[in-house]
């Protein structure tokens, strides 16, 4: 006998940050879900991630603040340095009472596996969440009553609906939106982590430091209770058409940073083995669902990482999606429409602002001089007001409130 519709779980394609956040948020509202992850294990890239106060608000809703707090680092400041002349461009204090007064929650950096494990552990502790690995979603059928997902190898899973949390190259998006491949933006990111004792002494700061150079930047910050440092080096290149988490070419990287400060090279020279990401995004769209299927996270709104918000948005999505489902459990297409309607302007603003931040980081000539002049004059309070919409413009259901 087949299961009745009400016995079926939400199927979630993808067990990354978006998929696990959605599963956990749904469980907190009393809904069952089954997460389908294509890899043989649940896991994340061994790199760092910045998390804004807006994500901390969601951690509280999801009940994982303690787990995050146990492993993250709270940096003292966001610092931008000019990679050519070594001047301080701007310093935004983070770990201060003034910051907490404006945003209510802190700013942190965390080792990605620690964030992923916090979500995964919380999901495992929920009987409403079941997890399946080696389960690559290859297609699905929506009967109007339920969805039937096909996995690689021909197996099927039935669900009350399908949540596509399968990232930038989403398979689910092909059917829900069908708008082709993401936009290759022409920037490449190289990532690595370095044990803290190997970090040059003068660079061993509890700050997120960004060295802004012509068509390049380097970011470094401490991670994992300060045991390691995260490095991300970005440069413009049309050399690579596609690629994701593959080994990077060290000579190519070095050639892009020629002429920059000794501190930049001191960091770059420490790493022999980089992982490379070809950076992509998409134009914002306002409809993220079709019938009983809906997109979340990078599958819905992939963005460049220059605002450090892709994962934060994915976590907010999960909370918002669950609250819309709870408000309309018997009309899921309406719940999904309400979810996208509540989210698309916020995520679209992040997608577009991230591109602009990239232009600011990589400015050359007069644009770089203007950057120094305008950011150099800014007081912390002005910097805070500039990102208030992002860091505190959210309610506990993941809706933008101003």
Ligand X SMILES: Cc1cc2nc3c(=O)[nH]c(=O)nc-3n(C[C@H](O)[C@H](O)[C@H](O)COP(=O)(O)OP(=O)(O)OC[C@H]3O[C@@H](n4cnc5c(N)ncnc54)[C@H](O)[C@@H]3O)c2cc1C
Residues 249-288 that bind ligand X (CB under 6 A): 277
Tell me if 209 contacts ligand X by CB under 6 A.
Answer: no
Question: Distance between CA atoms of 395 and 316, rounded to whole angstroms?
Answer: 10
Give the position of tokens 């770059």. 268
Give the residue with the Cβ less far from ligand X, 137 or 338: 137
User: What tokens appear for 19 in the block?
Assistant: 């998929």
CA atoms within 13 A on the CB side of 262: 2
Tell me if 164 contacts ligand X by CB under 6 A.
Answer: no
CB 124 within 8 A of CB 132: no
CB count, 10 Å around CB of 153? 9
User: In this chain, which stretch among 199-207, 264-272, 308-316, 390-398 interacts with ligand X, using CB under 6 A?
Assistant: 308-316
CA atoms within 13 A on the CB side of 76: 6
Work out which of 9, 75, 167, 222 binds ligand X, going by CB under 6 A.
Answer: 167
Work out which of 8, 9, 16, 235 binds ligand X, going by CB under 6 A.
Answer: 16
Work out which of 8, 11, 18, 78 binds ligand X, going by CB under 6 A.
Answer: 18
Question: Distance between CA atoms of 110 and 112, rounded to whole angstroms?
Answer: 6
Tell me if 316 contacts ligand X by CB under 6 A.
Answer: no
Give the nearest residue (CB) to ligand X. Answer: 310
Work out which of 9, 10, 11, 17 binds ligand X, going by CB under 6 A.
Answer: 17
Tell me if 189 contacts ligand X by CB under 6 A.
Answer: yes
Tell me if 171 contacts ligand X by CB under 6 A.
Answer: yes
Q: Which residues contact 293 (CB under 8 A, 6 or more apart)?
A: 140, 142, 147, 161, 162, 163, 164, 172, 175, 176, 336
User: In this chain, which stretch among 126-134, 202-210, 262-270, 307-315 interacts with ligand X, using CB under 6 A?
Assistant: 307-315
Tell me if 166 contacts ligand X by CB under 6 A.
Answer: yes
In terms of Cα–Cα distance, which of 136, 68, 134 is closest to 105?
68
User: In this chain, which stretch among 12-20, 197-205, 258-266, 283-291 interacts with ligand X, using CB under 6 A?
Assistant: 12-20
CB 362 within 8 A of CB 217: yes
In terms of Cα–Cα distance, which of 35, 30, 109, 31 is closest to 296?
35
User: What tokens appear for 370 in the block?
Assistant: 């203007």
Work out which of 13, 61, 78, 176 binds ligand X, going by CB under 6 A.
Answer: 13
Per-residue x/- track, 136-155, ligand X (CB under 6 A): xx------------------
Give the residue with the Cβ less far from ligand X, 37 or 263: 37
Give the position of tokens 């920037």. 187
Tell me if 113 contacts ligand X by CB under 6 A.
Answer: no
Give the residue with the Cβ less far from ligand X, 347 or 372: 347
CB of 297 to ligand X, least distance (A): 2
Give the residue with the Cβ less far from ligand X, 192 or 372: 192
**DSSP-assigned states of every residue in 256-312:** HTTT--HHHHHHHTT-S--EEEEEEE----S--EETTEEE-GGGT----GGGS-HHH
- Number of residues located near ligand X, criterion CB under 6 A: 34
In terms of Cα–Cα distance, which of 154, 166, 400 is closest to 296?
166
Per-residue x/- track, 337-376, ligand X (CB under 6 A): ----------------------------------------
User: In this chain, which stretch among 72-80, 210-218, 298-306, 336-344 interacts with ligand X, using CB under 6 A?
Assistant: 298-306
Residues 211-250 that bind ligand X (CB under 6 A): 232
DSSP state at residue 400: B
User: What tokens appear for 292 in the block?
Assistant: 């009983």
β partners of residue 275: 191, 247
Give the residue with the Cβ less far from ligand X, 36 or 176: 36
Work out which of 298, 325, 335, 350 binds ligand X, going by CB under 6 A.
Answer: 298
**How wide is the angle at C-alpha 169 spanned by C-alphas 27 and 158, nearest 5°?**
45
| Contacting residues toward ligand X, per CB under 6 A | 13-19, 36-39, 49-50, 136-137, 165-168, 171, 189, 191, 232, 277, 297-299, 305, 308-312, 314
């Amino acid at each position: 006998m087949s299961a009745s519709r009400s016995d079926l779980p939400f199927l979630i394609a993808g067990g990354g940050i978006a998929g696990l956040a959605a599963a956990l948020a749904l469980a907190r509202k009393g809904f069952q879900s089954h997460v389908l992850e294509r890899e043989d294990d649940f896991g994340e890239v061994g790199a760092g991630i910045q998390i804004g106060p807006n994500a901390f608000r969601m951690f509280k809703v999801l009940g994982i603040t303690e787990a995050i707090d146990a492993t993250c680092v709270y940096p003292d400041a966001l610092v931008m340095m000019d990679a050519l002349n070594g001047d301080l461009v701007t310093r935004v204090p983070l770990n201060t009472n003034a910051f907490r007064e404006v945003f209510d929650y802190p700013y942190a950096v965390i080792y990605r596996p620690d964030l992923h494990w916090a979500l995964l552990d919380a999901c495992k502790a929920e009987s409403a969440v079941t997890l399946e690995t080696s389960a690559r979603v290859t297609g699905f059928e929506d009967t109007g009553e339920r969805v039937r997902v096909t996995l690689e190898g021909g197996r099927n899973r039935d669900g009350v609906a399908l949540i596509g949390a399968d990232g930038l190259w989403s398979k689910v998006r092909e059917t829900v939106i069908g708008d082709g491949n993401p936009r290759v933006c022409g920037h490449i990111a190289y990532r690595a982590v370095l044990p803290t004792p190997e970090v040059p002494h003068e660079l061993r700061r509890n700050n997120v430091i960004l060295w802004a150079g012509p068509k390049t930047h380097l970011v470094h910050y401490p991670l994992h209770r300060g045991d390691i440092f995260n490095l991300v080096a970005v440069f413009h290149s049309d050399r690579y058409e596609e690629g994701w988490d593959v080994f990077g070419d060290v000579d190519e990287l070095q050639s892009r940073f020629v002429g920059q400060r000794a501190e930049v090279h001191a960091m770059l020279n420490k790493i022999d083995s980089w992982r490379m990401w070809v950076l992509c995004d998409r134009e914002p769209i306002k409809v993220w669902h079709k019938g009983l299927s809906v997109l979340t996270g990078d599958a819905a709104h992939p963005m460049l990482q220059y605002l450090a918000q892709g994962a934060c948005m994915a976590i907010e999505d999960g909370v918002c999606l669950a609250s819309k489902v709870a408000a309309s459990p018997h009309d899921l297409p309406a719940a999904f429409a309400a979810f996208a309607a509540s989210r698309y302007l916020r995520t679209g603003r992040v997608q577009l602002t991230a591109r602009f931040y990239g232009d600011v980081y990589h400015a050359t000539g007069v644009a770089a001089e203007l950057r120094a002049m305008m950011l150099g004059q800014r007081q912390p309070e002005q910097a805070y007001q500039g990102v208030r919409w992002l860091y505190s413009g959210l309610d506990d259901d993941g809706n933008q409130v101003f």
